[in-house]
Chain A
Amino acid sequence: MADVILRNVSKRFGAVEAVRELSLTVDDGEFLVLLGPSGAGKTTTLRLITGLERPDTGSVMIDGRDVTQDPPGSRDIAFVFQQYSLYPHLTVYDNLAFPLRSPARRVPEPTIRKRVEQTAELLHIASKLNNRATRLSGGEMQRVAIGRALVRDPAIYLMDEPLSSLDAKLRAELRLELKRIQLELGATILYVTHDQVEAMTMASRIGVIKDGQLLQLGTPREIYESPSSRYVASRLGTPQINFLPARLLSEVPLPPGTETIGIRTEHLQIASRNGGRLIGRVHRVEHLGEQNHVHLDYEGQTLVTLADPDRPLRAGQEVELRLTHPLYFDGEGQRIPAMPH
């Protein structure tokens, strides 16, 4: 395994700046997730690392070597795509062995057998090795696709939304498996997704990317608890963070320049009216099983908070609001640090 460094990489397709001045280091043994909406430049970034695209400016280093001008084949990368593209006429075994049988590699058959069996064991598909690839469930096919990357021992694994075509249950299961495998192998993975749950649950670090630019890089906890901007704050957390215009909270002392206040649902507490001045009205209560989502109306704005399912609340009821860790943002949406206490 090895590290990957992007230095000031830019890539333009006609009028579109797909990637802008992107600098990023994927550390050896790290699971780095790039999180962003479609069109953010995630896939282009992966393609720049593989060599399928050449950057207009900037450089790509793999394991300390500048590979910017190298062809894809010489870069020692394994790629997992969104759509599992298996060879339908081959067995699971032959699909897994395929990358090792490439004439460029010349791996002896006994070594191939060992690698394939180990990989199948790791992915819990050892009993399916003799099945045709088409005789598998969706989850098994995607495991084979991931397995085909794992049989090799490349410098880095690049994964482009590998779980997004699976149903929710399987996705949850494979999330756990993939994280376990990464830890077991000490693999370096750069993984791109638009799914915040995947990013939060698997990443050592998340890079939030939008319009080709890296907005923030940090551990899931850092990004969730201390987002650098309004956009980043809104990208993580379900239900989404609440935003209120600062002018509606004249009661609360705010750092100068604050235009918007962000309040995560768990930082908005509600209580029966008891002399406080922030009063909201319950608009609707969603019963989601383990938790209720309470939609509140405050000065014409909708706020969402969490409540225990056993707590009686009805639409129209007035409640007192209490903010515990508000986040402050300026007119540009950039975070302003809280005032020292």
Chain B
Amino acid sequence: MAQIRVENLRKSFDQFTAVHGSNFTIDDGIFFAMLGPSGCGKTTTLRMIAGLELPTEGKILLDGEDVTFRRAAARDIAFVFQLFALYPHMNVAGNIGFPLKCQGMTRRETRERVLETARLLQIEHLLQSKTSRLSGGDRQRVALGRAMVRRPKAFLMDEPLGALDAEFRHLMCGELRDLHDRIGATTIYVTHDQLEAMAMADQIAVMNKGRVEQIGSPQEIYDRPASMFVADFIGSPSMNFLRFEGGLRSGDTAISLAGVRIDVPEINEDRASASLVLGVRPEHIRFADAARVRGEVFGAEYLGTTQIVTVDTAHGRVAARMPSATQVRIGETVGLEFHSERLALFDGGSGLAIRTANKESARHG
């Protein structure tokens, strides 16, 4: 198993720069998700690590060894594409054993390795089955087995669950993570689905326009987003942004939102008067009759346990998550109270987070 290190990795295609100088280290055994919208450079980064693309600049180190210009086949990394590509004319054992057969491994050894892989994936009973008879989940397990059987140093996965419907995808997420816990291989997982990344990863790198905007644990990224892009991309519904003008002084513990005082975590930087943004997660909003931020209820969406209530305020439309037992009438005027310790502040121009007591550990990539 291996540590993967990327130094100043850059990739340009003619005029277009897909990846602008990324730096990160993925420690041995980590499940690392690269998350971002399409075109953010996540797949290009992954393909460079795999050796399917040569970087324009920078280095890739696998366990300390420079593999930047080594062929894909010589990197000892398994790449898992959309998990469904199986050889239809072979049975499960044939599919899993195929990479070993290509390497010229003896039949007995191949059989043993296939059996061991199948045991790990809990599909021993399917080894003699035709792949066309398998359920979607089992097909995925077989495809994964084919990647695992070579005992690679790391797994690279590019949206492997993209083709599945939402409910099944969540189930497979759990299974992939369980498998990772059993074999402990360093894994890089590329996805545009924040829930997948949050559910599985130890570390997430959020990418935007070829740059890594933040790297951190799911909870860190959710609680202390480094930028408005990250705050908006993670969480559903996403963070509410309330824009205001004002100045900030280090040590302040409140802001003035169009004349209304709002307590915030202690601010750790000075800002001359500028366009600023208050970030509020939907679950950190409560209705309070006396609150001075007021708005009119636009809609209420029942979700079983909770409901999402949208309120039109002077600062834009705000989504609040609350228990579904709370009675809400469309069109009524409500006061909104915020959970002060959990609020975020951003610079409206650069979109970057302003340092507060809640944000000290945020890092920029």
Contacts and interface: CB of A to CB of B under 8 A. Distances in A.
Contacts of B170: 238-239
B218 A168 contact: no
Given A179-B299, A240-B167, A284-B177, A289 B235 contact: yes
A295 B174 CA distance: 9
A264 to B, nearest CB: 8
Interface residues of B, number: 36
A327 interface: no
Contact of A288 (B199, B223, B308): B199
A180 B298 contact: yes
Nearest to B307: A201
A279 B140 CA distance: 33
A65 interface: no
A282 to B, nearest CB: 13
A249 B319 CA distance: 40
B40 to A, nearest CB: 14
Contacts of B160: none
B330 A237 contact: no
A47 B172 CA distance: 35
Contacts of B223: 309
Nearest to B219: A287
A237 B219 contact: no
Contacts of B238: 169
Contact of A176 (B177, B218, B282, B301): B301
B82 interface: no
A176 B299 contact: yes
A286 interface: yes
Interface string B209-249: 00000000111001100000000001111100000000000
B195 interface: yes
B198 A287 contact: yes
Contacts, number: 75
B321 A290 contact: yes
B186 interface: no
B362 to A, nearest CB: 15
Interface residues on A, range: 35 or more
A239 B303 CA distance: 11
A179 B199 CA distance: 31
A175 interface: yes
A289 B218 contact: yes
Greatest chain A CB density within 10 A among B181, B283, B304 is at B304
Contacts of B199: 286, 288, 293
B359 interface: no
B282 A289 contact: no
B141 interface: no
B222 A224 contact: no
Contacts of B281: 289-290
Contacts of A240: 167
Given A168-B236, A289-B198, A220 B302 contact: yes
B217 A287 contact: yes
A200 B303 contact: yes
Interface string A276-302: 000000001011111001010000000
B305 A266 contact: yes
A172 interface: yes
Nearest to A265: B305
B178 interface: yes
A236 B198 contact: no
A200 B167 contact: no
B298 A176 contact: yes
A135 interface: no
A338 interface: no
A217 B299 CA distance: 23
Contacts of B308: 201
B117 interface: no
B68 interface: no
Nearest to A288: B198
A322 interface: no
Interface string A249-273: 0000000000000001110000000
B299 A180 contact: yes
Interface string A170-202: 001001100110010000000000110100111
B304 A309 contact: no
B187 interface: no
A201 B219 contact: no
A286 B173 CA distance: 10
B302 A200 contact: yes
B310 interface: yes
A224 B237 contact: no
B301 A288 contact: no
Nearest to B178: A284
Contacts of A289: 198, 218-219, 222, 234-235, 281
A314 interface: no
Greatest chain A CB density within 10 A among B181, B281, B303 is at B303
A92 B223 CA distance: 42
Nearest to B282: A290
Contacts of A101: none
A111 to B, nearest CB: 30
A236 B304 contact: yes
A290 B306 CA distance: 12
A221 interface: yes
Greatest chain B CB density within 10 A among A180, A195, A238, A264 is at A238
B304 A172 contact: no
Given A180-B299, A284-B178, A286-B199, A309 B219 contact: yes
B301 A175 contact: yes
13 contacts: A175-B301, A176-B298, A176-B310, A195-B166, A197-B303, A201-B303, A236-B304, A237-B304, A265-B305, A287-B218, A288-B199, A289-B198, A289-B219
Interface of B: 165-167, 170, 174, 177-178, 181, 195, 198-199, 217-219, 222-223, 234-238, 281-283, 298-299, 301-305, 308, 310, 321, 324, 330
Q: Which 3 A-B pairs have the closest CB atoms?
A: A201-B301, A289-B222, A290-B283
Given A176-B310, A180-B298, 5 more contacts: A175-B301, A220-B302, A265-B305, A287-B219, A288-B218
